[in-house]
């Protein structure tokens, strides 16, 4: 069974789409017509199996291969049909709960941020180093061709979700991709572009958090929400910021995860406004509200193409943006929206149907 849409990540190679989540299931492959073609990966502990769940999934278009990294830091390679070919341990010793997001660089090379966890999570204080982060490049045999220190993981104190007391969390960098453009979101205020061929990182954007910056009387801070909702395109930058509960006590949890759009031409920045008409349309990942919370609408790009619901991009590939949506949610929103095409698709669905993939090509 596929997970609910809010947990599913998308990858595309050629005319094939791959959907995976971190709940023990393999990756599901479909062709561009939506026909199910098979599964990639098997859950288990053998050399050809991923351990417990898929941490990341990369496509290698140069070699027509697929790569899975599991929670133990094992890299598994498959051909385009999903047949296993080889595996390697890329994180040194087997590490349970590894946080590796692996990306394809070139030919048979992959890269990721690796943490060296030598200490317990700090109880308090933003200056306590919990781990080092290294940028690592490996091949599919697990052989390291490049490794260098990127930065450190710090412990910070944040208010608990129940608004009483504090808890310790981690502040670290993350790797993300927008259609083969690679980005490192730092653990402070800087966004870097990363070239996996030259192994160089260049500071490209700096966010001024203003009164929400770390320090002052509040022990927490606003910081990047390091989810899959980050896109750096030719014309705009989309990213999500997480705010401390203390800043929005009366609107919890509506504004805790706010999505911003930076227009590169006008150099203006705006937050996406919540659309209260469409209710609980998408949860987690920076948009909408969390599961079991009161629905307050969701933020997305206004659909001025056909009058349909706001669009929430989850993946960009070959100049197109994609969003995946559970069938029952799609049917509910189609009834509320004005898109003729959306209503036509919804008429052929039922609550047991597969999710719907929405593809958007922006007007020039």
pLDDT of residue 148: 92
Burial of 221 (0-12, 13-18, 19+ CB in 10 A): buried
- 278-315 pLDDT per residue, tens: 654 444 333 444 445 555 556 778 888 888 888 888 89
pLDDT at position 289? 44
**How many CB atoms within 10 Å of residue 309?**
26
Burial of 93 (0-12, 13-18, 19+ CB in 10 A): exposed
* Predicted pLDDT at 128: 66
For residue 310, what pLDDT is reported?
82
- Torsion angle (degrees, nearest 10) of CA 269, 190, 99, 126: -110
Q: Tokens for 222?
A: 């606003």
Which residues in the chain show pLDDT less than 50? 96-97, 159-167, 216-217, 280-291
Give the pLDDT score at 152: 83
State the pLDDT at residue 189.
83
Which residue in this structure is represented by tokens 């705010």?
Answer: 243
Per-residue pLDDT at 115: 81
Q: Are 314 and 301 in contact (CB under 8 A)?
A: no
pLDDT digits (tens, 9 = 90+) for 303-356: 888 888 888 888 999 889 999 988 988 898 888 888 899 999 999 999 889 899
Cα separations in angstroms, 266 against 217, 273, 291, 299 = 35, 19, 36, 22
């Amino acid at each position: 069974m596929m997970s609910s849409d809010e947990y599913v990540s998308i990858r595309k190679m050629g005319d094939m789409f791959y959907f995976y989540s971190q709940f023990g299931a393999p990756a599901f492959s479909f062709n561009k017509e939506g026909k199910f073609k098979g599964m990639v990966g098997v859950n288990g502990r053998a050399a050809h199996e991923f351990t417990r769940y898929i941490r990341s999934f990369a496509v290698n278009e140069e070699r027509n291969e697929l790569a899975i990294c599991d929670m133990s830091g094992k890299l598994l390679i498959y051909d385009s049909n999903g047949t296993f070919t080889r595996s390697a341990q890329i994180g040194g010793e087997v590490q349970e709960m590894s946080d590796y997001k692996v990306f394809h660089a070139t030919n048979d090379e992959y890269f990721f941020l690796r943490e060296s966890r030598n200490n317990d999570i700090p109880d308090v204080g933003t200056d306590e180093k919990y781990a080092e982060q290294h940028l690592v490049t490996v091949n599919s045999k697990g052989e390291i061709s490049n490794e260098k220190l990127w930065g450190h993981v710090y412990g910070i104190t944040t208010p608990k979700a129940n608004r009483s007391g504090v808890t310790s969390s981690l502040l670290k960098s993350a790797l993300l991709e927008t259609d083969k453009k690679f980005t490192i979101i730092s653990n402070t205020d800087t966004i870097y572009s990363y070239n996996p061929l030259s192994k160089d990182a260049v500071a490209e954007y700096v966010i001024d958090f203003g009164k929400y910056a770390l320090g002052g009387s509040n022990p927490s801070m606003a910081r990047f929400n390091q989810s899959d909702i980050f896109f750096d395109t030719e014309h705009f930058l989309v990213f999500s910021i997480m705010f401390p509960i203390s800043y929005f006590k009366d609107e919890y949890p509506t504004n805790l995860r706010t999505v911003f759009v930076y227009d590169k031409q006008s150099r203006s920045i705006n937050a996406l406004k919540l659309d209260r008409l469409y209710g609980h349309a998408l949860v987690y990942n920076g948009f909408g509200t969390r599961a079991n919370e009161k629905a307050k609408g969701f933020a997305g790009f206004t659909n001025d193409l056909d009058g349909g619901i706001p669009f929430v991009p989850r993946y960009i590939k070959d100049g197109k943006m994609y969003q995946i949506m559970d069938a029952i949610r799609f049917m509910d929103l189609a009834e509320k929206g004005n898109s003729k095409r959306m209503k036509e698709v919804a008429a052929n669905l039922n609550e047991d149907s597969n999710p719907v993939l929405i593809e958007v090509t922006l007007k020039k």
